[in-house]
Chain A
């Protein structure tokens, strides 16, 4: 017996036995390891700034509903995007409630409607009478094939923030600004060469077709009545409105009416240019007002916001930039529970107040706009009641597409602007009329490219007839 055991032992060297023993014991340990199973509902968010809003709400919920815990986790933006898409692609676990940014959500709508990983909330929103309570345009980014897949987190109306200290010291009355032409005419004396090198050291507006500023282009296009996609998701880049806007924007970027510089938001360089007065004004959605207050203290008390100057007199005085929804994946264990929590997290007065107080985001629930918090003066913005300003702008926010091809379309629009700017500089043409034909040609090229991409996907290029929500 002993001999046989020794013979078996001799099959492998002592080192090999040690390796095998370690492998076996660690495998057994891993197999027997008890992973604590967390019960309750998981809620993933991507913005760390949202945690101070939701954590107290979750704590409150957990106190009131001890058997139904709600867990909030912050997951970095791109990590959450990857986990969301991986979950929908391959069935890896995702949370019961997920905040999803607008540029990401379209990617979940690229297949047939049955394959969308989020629960269709249209009927529940209707049954619970929420469709009437929510700001209408705020539903559009979360709507595909006429069905709504998320509760909107925000509206994100856009105003124009400007350096009130510099502008008012120059005796300029910003209430006189109604259009972009007014803005340029009244403020252009402030574009000065301060150090005598023959180049301006102060610009009027942060806008440039650069990667970091590219989303501003869509904001301005939508404000001017342009669109990237029609209601059926077909690209409509080459339209009269878009050509006019693109040509006008190029006159802001080059030539005698140049007024813009590239000072991207939430970058060190851009913030420095805002702080030292190199750039005087920025497009200002409500969330950015909160970001400035939280991360840009150098501007406290020096800035004010006005409605966005219109493209034409009497035109739209706002636009939209950014957006987030709360979606409930189909894999959620208990839809009713997740739905109750979603309404509590997004639609309750407590969440609306916390959202505005922490990050200045206006709730899309119109009935909550009467809460006192939205009518308080804001010392950062020179004592203005910016909540009231955003409430005035909110109903006029333009509709947006939820196309999966929004990002490629915006990138192509950025390319059109750059190419048109090069053309203007080469040909020395700096009026809208001179630039319009070339704008049409470039937009047509971009539209054909994006249409070619879309044509490969039958579910996007030939959308199913959609019932109205």
Chain B
């Protein structure tokens, strides 16, 4: 039997509570999504002129070399970033998880702090750091190794490296916190048992810690891949509102922005957005399938 207080509730109560969210979601998410889906089947000319062209935008997209350049750049960035970020974040977390470490809280703060600043700020810092001659990186390397070229063209010939380095600076500390939380949840009795069985540090890591933190690692990888595919502000600001030299910094979202707001073809931009959404859904689905398969296998 239900308690009296629950029995008194009106059947409308859940709807009343859900209404604000439904209204906001409907107005600012669902309706714009529907509009953008409709827009992706139209070609827009200037501010007020649109023509229905069916799947024309999507067909053009598949033949558009710039879209493929953007996709290739974005995938390269995502691969490079995730490949380096996961071991670095996990390594830092393992270092800071040692109980006897002095100043652990300070180190955590120091490593985490870059993620508190905005991406635009990071882009501006690294724009200055990577400047030829006057940037800290070229100046320092030239001072330490006089043979190093003080005009080393980071932002001309090493666009992706520059972007990945800047992103790592920002996100390694943030993901370190996820790993740290996961490490602190590894049952100590398992580690003690492994110790008693004579397992060394590597064996403990490989056979105890890694399986325990795998769900968090999967979560970090998935979020990082999604975040990487949404990369926009970092290259846009670092390369002075452009896609960088020879489009080496062109990402899918940047191409969407340029198509919609610089060339003025909002229909094409919408098509790019929907294709990107599809790619991310597929990536998330694959990641979940792999994770589930591993769980079942173990």
Among residues of A, the one whose C-beta sits closest to the C-beta of B130 is A269
A-B contact count (CB 8 A): 119
A85 to B44, CA, bound (A): 14
A23 to B16, CA, bound (A): 12
- Known contacts A115-B46, A457-B45: does B128 contact A268 (CB below 8 Å)? yes
Determine the chain A residues whose CB is within 8 A of the CB of B150 once the complex forms: 199
Determine the chain A residues whose CB is within 8 A of the CB of B65 once the complex forms: 449
Name the interface residues of A405-420: CB closer than 8 Å to any CB of B: 405, 407-408, 411, 414-415, 418-419
Indicate whether B240 reaches chain A with its CB closer than 8 angstroms.
yes
- Known contacts A115-B49, A210-B245: does B263 contact A453 (CB below 8 Å)? yes
Among residues of B, the one whose C-beta sits closest to the C-beta of A404 is B264
Q: Is the CB of A459 within 8 A of B45?
A: yes
- Residue from A111, A212, A453 within 8 A of B46 (CB atoms): A111
Q: Which of A8-16, A244-252, A305-313 contacts B (4 or more CB under 8 A)?
A: A8-16
Q: Is the CB of B46 within 8 A of A414?
A: no
Among residues of A, the one whose C-beta sits closest to the C-beta of B138 is A269
A459 to B146, CA, bound (A): 56
- Known contacts A197-B146, A211-B240: does B265 contact A457 (CB below 8 Å)? yes
Indicate whether B47 reaches chain A with its CB closer than 8 angstroms.
yes
Indicate whether A458 reaches chain B with its CB closer than 8 angstroms.
yes
Residue among B128, B155, B242, B258 having the largest count of chain A Cβ atoms under 10 Å: B242
Determine the chain B residues whose CB is within 8 A of the CB of A402 once the complex forms: none
Determine the chain A residues whose CB is within 8 A of the CB of B17 once the complex forms: 16
Q: How large is the interface on A (under 10, 10 to 19, 20 to 34, 35 or more residues)?
A: 35 or more
CB distance from B41 to the nearest CB of A (A): 15
Among residues of A, the one whose C-beta sits closest to the C-beta of B258 is A408
Q: Is the CB of A404 within 8 A of B263?
A: yes
Among residues of A, the one whose C-beta sits closest to the C-beta of B12 is A11
A112 to B8, CA, bound (A): 62
- Known contacts A108-B46, A411-B243, A459-B49: does B134 contact A12 (CB below 8 Å)? no
CB distance from B8 to the nearest CB of A (A): 5
- Residue from A12, A117, A197 within 8 A of B13 (CB atoms): A12
Q: Is the CB of B8 within 8 A of A11?
A: yes
Name the interface residues of B234-276: CB closer than 8 Å to any CB of A: 239-247, 258, 261-266, 268
Indicate whether B36 reaches chain A with its CB closer than 8 angstroms.
no
- Residue from B8, B13, B20, B245 within 8 A of A418 (CB atoms): B245
Q: Is the CB of B245 within 8 A of A211?
A: yes
CB distance from A262 to the nearest CB of B (A): 6
- Known contacts A16-B13, A85-B261, A457-B265: does B46 contact A110 (CB below 8 Å)? yes
Determine the chain B residues whose CB is within 8 A of the CB of A209 once the complex forms: 245
- Residue from B5, B46, B149, B263 within 8 A of A13 (CB atoms): B5
CB distance from B257 to the nearest CB of A (A): 11
Seen from chain A, the residues whose Cβ lies within 8 Å of a Cβ on chain B are 10-13, 16, 20, 23, 78, 85, 88-89, 107-112, 115-117, 197, 199, 209-212, 214, 261-262, 264, 267-269, 272-273, 278, 404-405, 407-408, 411, 414-415, 418-419, 449, 453, 456-459
What would 7 A/B residue contacts be, using CB atoms closer than 8 Å? A10-B8, A13-B5, A107-B264, A108-B47, A117-B47, A273-B133, A449-B66
